[in-house]
Amino acid sequence: MNRISWDQYFMAQSHLLALRSTCTRLMVGATIVRDKRIIAGGYNGSVSGGAHCIDEGCYVVENHCIRTVHAEINALLQCAKFGVQTDGAEIYVTHFPCLNCTKAIIQAGIKAVYYATDYKNNPYAEELFENAGITVQQVELEEMILDRNNSEKLKFTATLLQKLKEAGVDDQELRSLHDTANHLYTSP
């Protein structure tokens, strides 16, 4: 059995953290890593003790929810709260950082940003990262590698579709089932 890469491992951690998000508009997770060790994690959510978007809805001003603290900031604040150095660390984020998070990442001394999904990538944020000499790389989570039974599921689905074809299921219906299975196996 092959082990997953470090990038996939840390990106999977960020996606797992995103599941804790209380924002109903976009669930984001961030993992800060130094020397292949996780030093902090964060997700976007309300200020501790405050109202949550999932309970009261998003507080949107100029098309941006101002109720939440972003995942990257929460991870950086966790480091500050517990006295963990961020200089020279790397951050794995489910979505490209916003402009304010970009500035905080640079100020914290993070040396590399890995993100899974483009999200309103701000050209000035990209310029700031470049000027700061920070590596920025897209690393999409390959979710299929996390499913240890993926090969068996694919074979089972192919066998089922073949048996349905042999049983005389209408070509249009069979095509629809094939498309649905394909969508299930390839969508995040």
Nearest-angstrom CA–CA distance, 78 and 91:
13
- For residue 137, give Cα distances in angstroms to 7, 51, 93, 114, 116: 10, 34, 11, 5, 9
**Pairwise CA distance, residues 160 & 91, whole Å:** 42
Q: What length does the chain have?
A: 188
Strands 90-95, 112-117: pairing kind: parallel
Is 143 catalytic? The answer is no
Annotated active-site residue in 56, 62, 72, 140: 72
- Which sign, positive or negative, has the C-alpha torsion 50, 61, 22, 32? negative
Q: Which helix (H) or strand (E) holds 157?
A: helix 150-166
Catalytic positions, please?
72
